[in-house]
């Protein structure tokens, strides 16, 4: 049974491509914008991506990133009885999976090659492929935020969706992302704005509003603070060949 497991860092941009093996991508650090078969989305410490054999996909990442990547033969999905998992592209990462990811990062790639045949099936199993998934309030919140990052999200409204107190909300975001809810939301909105900047010719002021910023100046300040580049410069760089 072909099964390879390693920690990888990706270049910023990978054009559309495909491979004959299945691939599970689990973010350790950083985020990835990934399109699989025309279904685009973001993955981070809360969400993994499963790319089935032959699926055309592309990806975009920021400079500082690390991912635990599991490559396996197409028959492995059937052997491990995880066909239901293979029907999904974006898969929530539960706490048990995160513990396994931490272990994998700790032992390093040399040891991972020796334990891949044992750790790989555990990773798939921990993602809940063979049991009905219990709805996690934080998972519901993250799905809502990703679906509409430009909405008027306050900490209170996020806590209400997650059905938890403000202090618990902050605690969960610190545990999952090592940042506050609003800081995480700002980064999500920046990624949404960058997607519009790359893919459209819409005015930057309109993109700012669509992504959830109060105006163009607010988007520019946030983007300069976090990525050290202005929206206009980012758009220009994306359109340059090479």
Domain that holds residue 67: 3-126
Query: How far apart are alpha carbons 143 and 41 in whole angstroms?
Result: 11
| pLDDT value for 111 | 92
pLDDT digits (tens, 9 = 90+) for 76-99: 767 766 666 767 788 888 878 888
Report the candidate in 44, 24, 60 with the shortest Cα–Cα distance to residue 142.
Answer: 44
Q: What pLDDT does residue 134 have? A: 42
**Are residues 101 and 183 both part of a single domain?**
no
Residue 131 has pLDDT above 50, yes or no: no
Instruction: Identify whether 153 is part of a domain.
Output: yes
Instruction: From 100, 126, 152, give the residue that closes a domain.
Output: 126
Give a yes or no: residue 31 inside a domain. yes
Contact by Cβ (8 Å): 92, 146 = no
Report residue 219 as tokens: 């988007």
Predicted pLDDT at 173: 94
Answer whether 195's CB lies under 8 Å from 33's CB: yes
What is the average pLDDT across 64-81? Answer: 83
- pLDDT of 86 reads 64
Same domain flag for 12 and 67 = yes
Angle at 216 between CA 214 and CA 218, to 5 degrees: 55
Contact call for residues 232 and 201 (beta carbons, < 8 A): no
- Does some domain include residue 131? no
Query: What is the structure's pLDDT at 125?
Result: 86
Across the range 118-123, mean pLDDT stands at 92
Q: What is the pLDDT of residues 171-182, one digit of tens each?
A: 999 988 889 999
Nearest-5° angle of CA 79, CA 57, CA 237? 150
Cβ proximity of 28 and 68 under 8 Å: yes
Last residue of a domain, one of 126, 155, 174: 126
Planar angle of CA 209, 213, 219, nearest 5 degrees: 105
Question: What's the pLDDT score for residue 71?
Answer: 94
Q: From 103, 100, 29, select the one nearest 67 (Cα to Cα).
A: 29
Secondary element (H or E) of residue 162: helix 155-162
The model scores a pTM over 0.85: no
- Give the span between the Cα atoms of 113 and 116, in whole angstroms: 5
**E strand or H helix at 186:** helix 181-199
Q: Do residues 122 and 37 both lie within one domain?
A: yes
Looking at per-residue pLDDT, the higher value among 134 and 169 belongs to 169
Domain shared by 142 and 120, yes or no: no
132 inside domain: no
Q: What are the pLDDT digits (tens) for 211-242? A: 999 999 999 999 999 999 999 999 998 877 65
Dist. CA 197–CA 237, nearest whole Å = 10
Residues 117 and 16 in one domain: yes
We report the CATH number of the domain holding residue 34 as 2.60.120.280
Average pLDDT over residues 54-60: 90
Residue at a domain's end among 71, 95, 126 = 126
């Amino acid at each position: 049974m072909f099964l390879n497991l390693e920690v990888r860092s990706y270049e910023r941009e990978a054009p559309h491509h495909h491979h004959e093996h299945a691939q599970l991508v689990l973010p350790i650090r950083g985020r990835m914008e990934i399109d699989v078969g025309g279904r685009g989305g973001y993955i981070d410490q809360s969400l993994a991506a499963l790319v089935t054999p032959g699926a055309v996909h592309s990806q975009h990442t920021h400079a500082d990133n690390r991912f635990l990547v599991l490559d396996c033969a197409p028959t492995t999905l059937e052997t491990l009885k995880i066909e239901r998992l293979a029907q999904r592209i974006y898969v929530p990462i539960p706490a048990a999976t995160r513990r396994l990811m931490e272990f994998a990062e700790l032992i390093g790639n040399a040891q991972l090659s020796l334990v891949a045949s044992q750790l790989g099936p555990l990773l798939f199993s921990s993602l809940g492929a063979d049991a009905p998934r219990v709805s996690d309030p934080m998972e519901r919140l993250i799905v809502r935020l990703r679906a509409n990052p430009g909405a008027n999200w306050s900490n209170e409204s996020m806590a209400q969706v997650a059905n938890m107190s403000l202090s618990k909300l902050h605690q969960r975001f610190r545990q999952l992302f090592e940042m506050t809810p609003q800081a995480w939301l700002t980064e999500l909105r920046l990624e949404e704005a960058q997607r519009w900047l790359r893919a459209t010719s819409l005015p930057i002021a309109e993109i700012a509003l669509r992504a959830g910023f109060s105006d163009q100046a607010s988007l520019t300040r946030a983007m300069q603070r976090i990525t050290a580049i202005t929206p206009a410069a980012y758009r220009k760089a994306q359109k340059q060949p090479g």
